[in-house]
Amino acid sequence: MKEFKYDDAYFQRTYAGWLGKIIGVRMGSPIEGWLNSEIEAKYGEIDRYVQDYNDYAADDDINGPLFFIRSLIDFKEKMDDISVEDMAETWLNYVCDGHGFFWWGGYGISTENTAYDNLKYGIRAPDNASIERNGSTCAEQIGGQIFIDTWGFVFPGNPIKAANFAKKMIAVSHDGEALYGGMFITACISSAYISKDVFDVIDLGLSVIPENCEYANLVKDIIRYYESDLEKNWRNGFRYIQDNYGYDKFPGNCHIMPNAAIIILSLIYGNGDFSYSQMICNTCGWDTDCNSGNLGSILGILNGIKGIDEYWITPIKDVIISSSCIGSLNIDTISNSAQRFASLGCYFAKKDVPKKWKENTIEDCLYLHFDMPNSIQGFRVDDDTIIKNSTHEILQNHRTLLLESLNSNIIDTYIKTYYCPEDLEDSRYDPSFSPIVYPGQSIEFMIENANENPVNAEIYFVDLLSKKRIVITQMTDINPGTCVFKGVIKNYTEALVSRIGIRIIGKSSTNTNKIFVNYLKISDYPTYEIDFKNYKIENYGFSNGKLHTEVQGCSYSKGLWDLENNVLSGSCTDSGELLFGYYPSKNFIYEVSIKPQLGFKHLINFRVQGLSRSYLFGFTGEERVSLIKKHIENNVILSNKYQYKKNKWYRLKVVVKDNIFKCYINDELIFDYQDANNHYSFGQQGFTVMESSRCAYKDVKITAI
């Protein structure tokens, strides 16, 4: 097999594959679970999006690929030795307990729910997901193949290695034929980078699973039927699948086998054409978003971005919304996440990242660029301004974003840095958000004024709390040509930033305006405050029969969190966690007032990297204060006697500098600790209550060091 090139084309095709996945999921989501007869009666053949969205909300088919691959980031130094247990920790770290992320249909009903609960109660992977423990019906549902796309992206042109890595992650939740199905689809995605057609892709996919397993026999049987079908009519193939591999032939609510048959049918009868194959896949019915998502990954890579029609791409806005426990990670773009996958691919192949993509990787900042074709990085306009990706270069070898107004001399473009329930179409997978931009951070645009005359420009943000649009730069003259335009969000420490934008006012008498944007860079660390009297409970409504609410700007995993009498209250049975803040935060001072009310465990979290990794400081007994390092379990580092009273306010403060933590109560130094053992170097902040405790929190202050 020819050596794969980790070049610019790899990054571009990974973007096309990831975009194809998201198109397929969005296309199939409104008809998920429908029968073919129901679909055709209402819509006919599905050759379009059947539903418009404000912004497409979180979906399990996107959550899994986006976050499970983070095991390669979190355990990067292990390289090929990353284990099934490491991947199980990824589940426990990023998945909220009991809501969001995937379908919580009940123990023994939802495969993922079952696997997670087994992990939570100490059953180690892969035993937690085995047929021996959970039975074949539970173990062989569809999740084995719907979460695995990104393993193919990271191990391109190497189906065996891709399948072996994917196998470890699949084994955290599935077994049996679902294990083989996930390996097969992963290998197909990896093979699409080096294959000439769909049949070549399928052959390489089959090469990584047992020759006579039930899944392989299904694939080969459908190909045999296709070869015998003189009409080459997909409806003939679908009738054959209904008769031989229908839902009535397999147990459970969403078995992998019928849906695998639909993917194969769509690949071979669609003959590699993206739109036609998606039409077949979605018109057939059953688990439409899962099937068309996997199909989209394969065909996106096989054909590249030129094989995906523009009408699929534009409505997505290059945006991904997800529902992990880390609210700021739930706001992302297709472009940046695809770059992240391909950069991981270079790392694990021990290859250099291509020059262009090195230049697009800036540590400790959010850098939005436009080097993926069709990328707009979530930029929006509220009027009839033209907005599109452009080959025009400001910096050599880098694409730009074109903004052109033909009927007005004003261009106003922005990105959303926080989402509210009303922004989203639904809440099926319980998204929650922390802003991706905070007071104290710098905002920098590189733009080109493509007009003949100077323009005026200003950078602004929108504060969700006050509903105000706040300008952070003076109106500035920008001459024709290129400039870097920069501002800092200062003097607004009490703000929830929901939008960052730039406003360009032209001076031409022709009432037109044209600019190009090379990048938006958001850098530096936040300094801000939270006064909970200005915050509210966000109500997402009912999803899956449950009311979904979130404290504004925060994400909870467990416990009861509410805003009462201008303060935040948290209570729990076994434990409750509420997380917030800037995920890449490193060195800072974190202060908050807390009032213990019931029970004895009232703490604050810092450097939170998820639900499995953080530090905690606070009251841990009737007369006890402790510093804890959490790695799945809570490990007490230091503990002292400390007398405190219920229903009295205490000011807790941690000064976090590199691996040194100084912890104070009411300005009294309690702990001065240096973590010399693999310290957590970054993370969010949060609150924790444990063991039937209840605590109030107010007056949060974060100061960057």
Q: pLDDT digit string (tens) for 296-337?
A: 999 999 999 999 999 999 999 999 999 999 999 999 999 999
CB 594 within 8 A of CB 652: yes
> Which of 491-495, 516-520, 545-549, 565-569 is the least confident region?
545-549
Lowest mean pLDDT across 281-290, 355-364, 517-526, 663-672: 355-364
| pLDDT digits 0-9 by tens, 100-136 | 999 999 999 999 999 999 999 999 999 999 999 999 9
Q: 219: which 2 tokens?
A: 């694939």
Secondary structure element (H or E) that encloses residue 20, with its range: helix 8-28
Quote the percentage of the chain above a pLDDT of 90.
94
Task: Please write the tens of the pLDDT for every residue from 463-486.
Answer: 999 999 999 998 899 999 999 999
**Closest among 84, 255, 264 to 171, alpha carbons compared:** 84
Mean pLDDT rounded to a whole number for the chain:
96
For helices 84-94 and 159-170, angle between their N-to-C axes, nearest 10 degrees: 60
The Cα 325–Cα 555 span in angstroms is: 6
Calculate the alpha carbon distances from 146 to 68, 142, 260, 289, 297 in Å: 12, 7, 10, 9, 11
- DSSP assignment of 283-333 equals HHBSSHHHHHHHHHHHHHHHH-GGGS-HHHHGGGTTEEE---S-GGGGEEE
Number of Cβ within 10 Å of residue 475's Cβ equals 10
Q: 1: pLDDT confidence band, cut at 50, 70 and 90?
A: low
Largest CA distance in the chain: 84
Q: Which amino acid is at 159?
A: P
- Single out the residue of 676, 12, 63 nearest to residue 338, CA to CA: 12
Rounded distance, CA 325 to CA 683, Å?
12
- For residue 519, which phi and psi values (nearest 5 degrees)? -160, 160
Cβ-based burial of 479 (10 A; exposed 0-12, middle 13-18, buried ≥19)? exposed
Q: What is the pLDDT of residues 62-99, one digit of tens each?
A: 999 999 999 999 999 999 999 999 999 999 999 999 99
CB 502 within 8 A of CB 415: no
pLDDT tens for each residue of 159-182:
999 999 999 999 999 999 999 999
Backbone φ and ψ for 294, nearest 5 degrees, come out as: -60, -45
- The pLDDT of residue 485 is 94
Question: Model's pTM, two decimal places?
Answer: 0.96
Query: What is the spatial distance between Cα 616 and Cα 628, in angstroms, rounded to a whole number?
Result: 5
| DSSP summary character for residue 125 | T
* Whether pLDDT at 510 is above 80: no
Q: How confident is the model at residue 407 (pLDDT cuts 50, 70, 90)?
A: confident
Q: Which residues touch 639 (CB under 8 Å, ≥6 apart)? A: 620, 624, 625, 626, 627
Q: What is the CA radius of gyration of the chain?
A: 26
pLDDT of res. 615? 98
